[in-house]
Structure 1
Amino acid sequence: MFLVTAEEMREIDRKTIEEIGIPSIVLMENAGSQVAREMMQFIFKPAKIVILSGHGNNGGDGFVTARHLGNHGYDVQTWLIGSPEKFTPETTIHFNALIQSGYKVNIFSQDNELELKESLIKADIIVDALLGTGATGGLREPYKSIIQFVNQTNATKVAIDIPTGVNSNTGEVVELALIADYTITFALPKIGQYLYPGTEYIGKLKVVDISIPSIVIKEVDPRISLLSQNDLRTRLPIRKRNSHKGTYGHAFIIGGSKNMPGAITLATMAALRTGAGLTTSAVPASIQPMVFSRVPEAICIAMDEDSTGHFALNSIEALRLEEKNYTAIGIGPGIGQWELGLEWFKKLLLSINLPMIIDADGLNLLSKEIGLLDQRKSETILTPHPGEMARLIKRDVAYVEKNRIKVAKEFASQYGVYLLLKGAHSLIATPNGDLYLNPTGGPELAKGGSGDVLTGMITGFVAQKLPILDAVMLAVYLHGIAGNLASKPSNYSTIATDVIDKIGFAMSTLSNHVDALPTHFPGN
């Protein structure tokens, strides 16, 4: 499913109206009737409903909703917060249809402000049809005072298309927005409904059909997609019965340091759980026994280290990378930063001609010489959190968080990499400018080690020779599901190894394939 900007949605509407020939008044009728239909799923007829309509098209949707609810016997009170003189033509028609159907519309003014507040206090359901997706910036009066008052009531709050005060393109909220319990949006979800802080105001999101033809959406070609279970199920690699460990690739993860043996351990475990046929970890010699004892299923190479417990500069030659059959390489978990770290990292980066995943301190070392990416010949995947992203582009974290889509898209395009910008609703950007937003995951993943698990999962999928984009999408989506499964009974207590233990369960929820029967073919 695509996510759209306000501008893309307007173009979709325009094409539907002008090129397909579905009148705008019909789209508004469809929208309002769908809102009413959805509301009737969770409200009872004794409920008192107050609908707040503006004078734009969002207000027109509210008038249609009021008429349909009234026609079904619901107790509906409609308020116009605006001026009839500013109605769009479609809103005028549906306002008149509401009046001609025998329903009253109260027009808000300073003289009846107290009456409006009394209605809102008594309401069981309050419907926000004030501004819609085109509004930007802070709220002006009287919207500001009304929304502030609505938020203080005990009523269930329903937003039509998007809560008033939430920017549909960026998720930005300037001081105040409606805190909705439900948001009913039309045709396609809007980007701002999934970006913070806006997503915290959405409540339960429902996307309803208003008869927008699929051909129109294809022609507009939105560049941001929402990862979905139905799509990703088909991308999950099938485990064939007649297969062996060599069939599923060889993941190689380089990481760890004297004071951080845990990160590489977690990444290695996750690569194995994700399905890599073979997994090798390369670590400083002093921590090799510790890592190997935790992950006996992996090959664990002890590398030369310097006096600080970090990789020695000459350790790379000992790997003999050209002699191995690695199919993906992950770099960064737990490597730390040290005096010769950049020189070591640069030497490693330029000696490997395989798909590479860079995370953690690998990213921090890369940020010191970002031009190294231009010298890479194979696919590169970067997995920064906002702080690491800020260091990569020499900006502050606030800038990254406010401009997540712009930052991810521009960086991936400029350097020809796949970028996974982590956070609530992580964002994937591809070298050709496509973007994918992940809806899974929660606060249970806000723990040390979660990122190392994700790095291992990506490396494990890439090692199985999946297309790079498929590997990243599957890893981040399943990582979120595994986190959710691991959060029971409490997301306070979830730790990274709990998430790893749930990777298999997460894959099971995604796939409808029957597990392969065991094979005893020895492999290679």
Structure 2
Amino acid sequence: MEAARRLPVLSCAEAAAAEAAFIGTDKKLSWQLMRCASLGVAHEALTLLRRQPKRILILAGQGNNGADAFLAALYCAQPGTEMTVVFAGRRPIGAQALRAWSTKKRGVKIKYATAAKLPDLGRVKFCLIFDGIFGQGFHGPLSKDLGALLRNTEKLQGLRIAVDLPSGLGDDTRGPAFRADLTVSIGCLKRPLLEPSARKFTGRIRVLDIGLPLGETEEVSATEETLAPLRQIRRADADKRHQGRVLIIGGSETMPGAVLMNTRAALQSGAGLVTTCLPRSLRNKAALALPEAMWNPFATGTSGYISADALPSLRKSFPNKDVLLLGSGMGEKSAATLVKLVKRCDLSLVLDADALRPEIIQASAPTKIRVLLPHAGEFKRLSGHTMTPSAGRAYAKQTKTIVVLKGALTCVTDGVRTLHIPFGGPVLARGGSGDLLAGMVASVLARRTELKLTPLEAVELAVVWQGCAADILSRKQGEEAVRTTDLLSELSSALLS
């Protein structure tokens, strides 16, 4: 099977040069790419809006970014939609931009306003607001007039979509910029979007593949093609023992839920055999709730957390397993026991939550596959640094681990390559999402030989899978009235879509 397509992370200048080299003087190709980009932006906007727009505002520059925004708005519009265009400065120039602006749609009313009218437009409730002022061609600093224009956009009401980049961001500028709810980066992931200072402007980030022949770099953005190995039919002679044997050790008497979510996720994501070790007092209820798993009890101390007395029985669970997932819901008091446990474990390790401690990482064998899944606070505890892609890459290289940096734009790194995952979103911002991801990572990692994946590819697949399922859940049920475990019912949908 061919490797999944990934899109490189490029500077705006690199992206513009690659696009220009591909298009050359081919006007037909240029128009096709503009239409493809605009359709993709429109799709992402309507997916997030979840209804047909009645009023759309376009903030447009004179180049192709403004034309992209106009076409995207036109694709979103239906008969009866009112579109308002505000030009930031001069009117459009360039053959493709002029062609785009000459496009019409029956029943759609288009009116034009000057930038001076923006304060008045702040009283209008728009469904969609498209920012197409600059795109990747911006070089700062902002002029006084454009700075005032961007400040006036702050009070606009509606879902705010940045086409390619929020205007005001670029290779040499970090804002001020248009504040977007969604940024659709066209062709590849633009490096300015990854700057920590850009987060307050970008909103959620999506990367639109328009087919540019871009080579991979050491820093890339994943695509849905990552899921291809799970979209194949299973071998006719598939055996449960060859579909991943996952061992999960976790939980405490006061935090039983996390290890149950680990187990549910590992089962739902295809593991052939799942064995879960948890406190003795929880075993019977857990077995009734999830009969597909095997349940082994371990001893706890008077506080309800794992005790050193549990070690002999836990080590008996190691044989005939592929991966050990450790740490969920175990509590701070478990650290000393977990150090002793990993010292004599030769399984691939997935470490989460209470297993994410420097002494546990140091005690585990560096020759084995080790996957760490920290959020920002846990990464700070491990490394002493603020969580950024570059800090994560340095830590992964130092510790010879694969690190999943969980956040608004999750990334996966092995210290050499960094993979950004532009799927998922705020629907995952609830307790237990990380526990589900840990179970999925353990499951796919345990199956990596059968799926013909490297360890890094297996982890990437699990993270993309969760993100795509989260996007489907969000489309179906919104982002508010859902439970964390609702995500599991969409794992199949993500593979079948």
User: Do residues 372 (structure 1) and 403 (structure 2) align?
Assistant: no
Q: What residue number does 2:491 align with?
A: 506
Per the alignment, do residues 376 and 205 of structure 1 end up closer, same or farther by CA in structure 2, a change over 3 Å counting? closer
User: Do residues 496 (structure 1) and 481 (structure 2) align?
Assistant: no
Contact 1:250 1:278 in 2 (8 A): yes
Pick aligned residue for 1:458 from 432, 441, 452: 441
User: Do residues 10 (structure 1) and 13 (structure 2) align?
Assistant: yes
Q: What residue number does 1:143 align with?
A: 146
What are the equivalent positions in structure 2 for 1:255-404 lying under 5 Å apart? 255-321=250-316, 324-338=319-333, 341-363=334-356, 366-368=357-359, 370-372=361-363, 375-395=365-385, 399-400=386-387, 404=388
What are the equivalent positions in structure 2 for 1:156-305 lying under 5 Å apart? 161-166=164-169, 174=175, 176-179=176-179, 187-193=187-193, 196-200=199-203, 214=213, 217-218=214-215, 221-234=216-229, 238-305=233-300
Contact 1:254 1:329 in 2 (8 A): yes
Contact 1:248 1:464 in 2 (8 A): yes
Which has more strand, going by share of residues? 2
Bigger radius of gyration among the two: 1
CA displacement 1:8-34 (0-9 Å, x = unmatched): x424555777x8894899999987568
Q: CA deviation at 1:69?
A: 4.5
Contact 2:352 2:373 in 1 (8 A): yes
Per the alignment, do residues 10 and 292 of structure 1 end up closer, same or farther by CA in structure 2, a change over 3 Å counting? same
Separation in structure 2 between the aligned mates of residue 69 and residue 423 of structure 1, nearest angstrom? 37
Contact 2:165 2:183 in 1 (8 A): yes
Unaligned runs of 5+ in 2: 1-5, 35-62
Q: CA-atom RMSD, angstroms?
A: 4.0
Separation in structure 2 between the aligned mates of residue 41 and residue 21 of structure 1, nearest angstrom? 21
Q: CA deviation at 1:439?
A: 2.3
Pick aligned residue for 2:391 from 381, 390, 407: 407
Per the alignment, do residues 256 and 200 of structure 1 end up closer, same or farther by CA in structure 2, a change over 3 Å counting? same
Contact 1:70 1:76 in 2 (8 A): no
With normalisation by structure 2, the TM-score equals: 0.75
Unaligned runs of 5+ in 1: 79-114, 513-524
With normalisation by structure 1, the TM-score equals: 0.71
Segment of structure 1 superposing worse, 302-311 or 19-28: 19-28
Separation in structure 2 between the aligned mates of residue 429 and residue 118 of structure 1, nearest angstrom? 47
Contact 2:350 2:442 in 1 (8 A): yes
Pick aligned residue for 1:49 from 57, 64, 85: 85
Contact 1:185 1:206 in 2 (8 A): yes
Pick aligned residue for 2:67 from 26, 36, 53: 36
User: Do residues 480 (structure 1) and 467 (structure 2) align?
Assistant: yes
Q: What residue number does 2:50 align with?
A: none
Q: CA deviation at 1:255?
A: 0.4
Contact 1:50 1:127 in 2 (8 A): no
